[in-house]
Amino acid sequence: MSVNVNTVYQRVLAITNKEQRGYITPQEFNTLANQAQLDIFEQYFYDINQFGRIPGNDTEYSDMLDILEEKVSVFEKTNQTVTSGTTLPADLYRLGSVVFNGAEAESITQKDYVYITQSKLRTPSNDFPIYIRDNSGVKVYGANTSGAIEQKTSGVTCNYMKVPSQVAWASNSNTGLYDAGNSTNFELHESEETELVIKILAMAGIILRDNSLYGIASGEDTKNVSQEKS
């Protein structure tokens, strides 16, 4: 299940309009919604790192590491083709492993590659490939039929975490009402609905120049984070 974009938008409007604070347009909401989604998504990885360093618990539904891994699992993609052996998928957020013909490649630096090419002891093979990541994507190396180092341009796949899809609240051009068919919901776990509302309200307070709205929303956000990590 994901978070419905219209539910979040209506809650944001209800709170901002309750005391005539101002109106958040659909365009403004979409911008804020995407920023809030990325903020929450990025925080998952810091939290996984933190909770991975402390003991968990035996309670089936309240182990924080399990909860976080469930939330990010929907963004994982496996066995995705690396086009021409170099071009990574366009929706990549964080790269996991690079694989050549079923063998996981070892990540190395350009400096390491220079040393490897000068040492027969560390020459990569098709069973033990290596790869370098740069601005253009990845370069995977194995061996040719003679045993010499060769860049691989096919048979390369990767596992990665994809970026969340862009959120969009759309309206019907005739009625101005919510158009579910042309809207895109949040990809985050449904439990993040309240957190999304809070984060969007905090940013809306800046747009509306309402310090009280920003302060209230920021305070709620801080309280929630403290409760999760206490």
Tens-digit pLDDT string for the chain (230 aa):
799 999 999 999 988 876 566 688 999 999 999 999 999 999 999 999 888 776 655 555 567 888 899 999 999 999 999 999 999 999 999 999 999 999 999 999 999 999 888 877 678 999 999 999 999 899 999 999 998 999 999 999 999 999 999 999 999 999 989 999 999 999 999 999 999 999 999 888 877 776 666 566 666 655 555 545 55
Q: Would you state the pLDDT for residue 56?
A: 56
Q: Is residue 22 part of a domain?
A: yes
Same-domain status, 49 and 93: no
Q: Is residue 192 part of a domain?
A: yes
Q: Is residue 134 part of a domain?
A: yes
Same-domain status, 106 and 156: yes
**Could you say which of 162, 184, 200 is where a domain stops?**
162
Same-domain status, 143 and 221: no
Same-domain status, 186 and 158: no
Element (H, E) at 71: helix 64-73
Q: Under a CB-based contact definition with an 8 Å cutoff, are residues 91 and 162 in contact? A: yes
Which one-letter amino acid corresponds to residue 67?
I
Beta-strand (E) ranges in 48-178?
76-81, 92-100, 103-104, 106-107, 130-134, 137-143, 149-152, 156-162
Q: Would you state the pLDDT for residue 220?
A: 62
**Could you say which of 127, 162, 197 is where a domain stops?**
162
Q: Is residue 169 part of a domain?
A: no
Q: Is residue 48 part of a domain?
A: yes
Same-domain status, 120 and 185: no
pTM of the model: 0.82
Domain count, the chain: 2
Q: Is residue 201 part of a domain?
A: yes
Q: Is residue 71 part of a domain?
A: no
Distance CA 43, CA 207 (A): 24
Same-domain status, 80 and 38: no
Range(s) of the domain holding residue 30: 2-63+175-229
Which residues touch 128 (CB under 8 Å, ≥6 apart)? 103, 106
How far is CA 140 from its chain centroid?
A: 25
Strand partners, 142: 150
Same-domain status, 146 and 187: no
Q: Would you state the pLDDT for residue 59?
A: 58
Distance CA 90, CA 137 (A): 10
Same-domain status, 59 and 82: no
Same-domain status, 197 and 139: no
**Could you say which of 162, 197, 217 is where a domain stops?**
162
Only one residue has tokens 């990574």, namely 88
Same-domain status, 142 and 194: no
Tokens of 60: 């089936």
Short-list 209, 18, 69, 205, CA closest to 220: 205
N residues, the chain: 230
Same-domain status, 182 and 153: no
Q: Is residue 193 part of a domain?
A: yes
Same-domain status, 153 and 113: yes
